[in-house]
A and B are shown apart, each in its own frame.
Chain A
Amino acid sequence: MRLGLDEVGVTELMAVTEHARAMSTTAAGLLLERLDDDAGLVTPVAGDSENEEVGALLAEIRAAVPPALGRREVPALWRILARNPRSTWRKEQVVMREGALGARDKRRVALGVAMSVRARYMVEYHAAIVRVAGDTETDLLEILGVVDHYTTLNTLSEGMQIESDIVPPA
């Protein structure tokens, strides 16, 4: 890595990367393909869940997610995950918030990861958030361009078994 980031920044970047990758797997595992999908492998919880903890979690998600996405409803992904304890939502909050890296940059990174693993649901999800934050179509193409070019370099590197010669600064 040659980013000029300190260890906190690098840890945040890796956290966003693994979280975005894991969420892509989760959405695909739940058979959620489009952000508009209302059901997948598991039925989402209803808005008026009797379980107090689930109800409170859903309320918290409802307050945060639809405005960030520019949508009216909570996506099925979060309504399904709300069945579980707060673990995934809590992690999303911690990993994606403003830190050594900006929240918007983190979301662009997450979008790049979702594009890279071809997770349509999460591409739509992260793209909606960066668009609401002000990113344009040109910005989306710029993100995709980096994904595209690094897919090239990663393929060459693996295919030719290139040894790393990028020496970190002393």
Chain B
Amino acid sequence: MTTIRMVDPAQVTGKTRAVFEAVLRREEKVFGATAVSNIWRCQGHVADYVEANWERSRALMQRGRFTPLQRELIATAVSVANACTY
């Protein structure tokens, strides 16, 4: 049971909308998503926050020398080590 309402991408405007659109473009490309994933929707209640995390995600996960797979391997291992099932 989630402890917070997932922000509806159809209802957002401004900064949050721009972030959600960028997230969806990214997630479509990476794993064929058809909707913004919950991990981003849950942050959408505070526009500056979701924007800051998205910018950091792009900086840390989409730029650099490693391939997306190499980064995803580490990400999955860390999530397992943190006992995170999402």
Contact = CB atoms under 8 A, between A and B. Distances in A.
Interface in A11-25: 13-14, 16-18, 20-21
Nearest to B72: A3
Contacts of B13: none
How many A residues are at the interface, by size bracket? 35 or more
Contact of B70 (A105, A153, A154): A105
Contacts of B42: 156, 160, 162
A52 to B, nearest CB: 37
A19 to B, nearest CB: 10
Contacts of B80: 14, 17-18
Contacts of B39: 153, 156-157, 162
Interface residues of B, number: 40
Contacts of B43: 156
A147 B3 contact: no
B11 interface: no
Interface of B: 1-4, 30-33, 35, 37-39, 42-43, 53, 56-57, 59-61, 64-66, 69-82, 84-86
30 contacts: A3-B72, A3-B73, A13-B76, A18-B80, A105-B70, A105-B73, A108-B70, A109-B74, A112-B77, A113-B77, A116-B82, A142-B64, A143-B74, A145-B59, A145-B61, A146-B75, A146-B78, A149-B56, A149-B60, A150-B74, A153-B39, A153-B86, A156-B39, A156-B43, A161-B1, A161-B3, A162-B42, A164-B38, A164-B85, A165-B35
Interface of A: 1-4, 13-14, 16-18, 20-21, 101, 105, 108-110, 112-113, 116-117, 138-139, 142-143, 145-154, 156-166, 169
Q: List the 3 closest A-B pairs by CB distance, nearest first.
A: A145-B60, A154-B84, A157-B86
